[in-house]
Amino acid sequence: MKTIIIGHIGSDAGYWVIDANGHIRHVEGWGIDQLAEFRNAVTIMATATQLKTPGLAEAAIKSVHGLAQSQLAEHLKEGGVVVVMP
């Protein structure tokens, strides 16, 4: 299982993993701009849930959902976990 923590931390340096065959390999990290965009998209979605005007929250979330979903699909594999820290 891979865990990704998003918050006031992050690195574009990547990380090291030991694969099923015992080999150590480097995995590229999120580009620093991609990481910032993803974090901003998640912040918009979280903030939008507080909007009371009908349809406004859905529109705001829809505007950034595709970006967040594509970034997660690229960096998180099956069984992974994302922790979003404010």
- Name the residue type at position 2: K
pLDDT at 50 over 60: yes
Average pLDDT rounded to a whole number, residues 22-34? 80
Contact 6, 83 (CB under 8 A): yes
Parse the chain into domains and list their residue ranges.
3-79
Residue 83's region, left for phi above 0, alpha for psi from -120 to 50, else beta, is beta
Tens-place pLDDT, residues 29-44: 778 888 889 889 999 9
Task: List all residues 6 or more positions away from 40 whose beta carbon is below 8 Å from its beta carbon.
Answer: 64
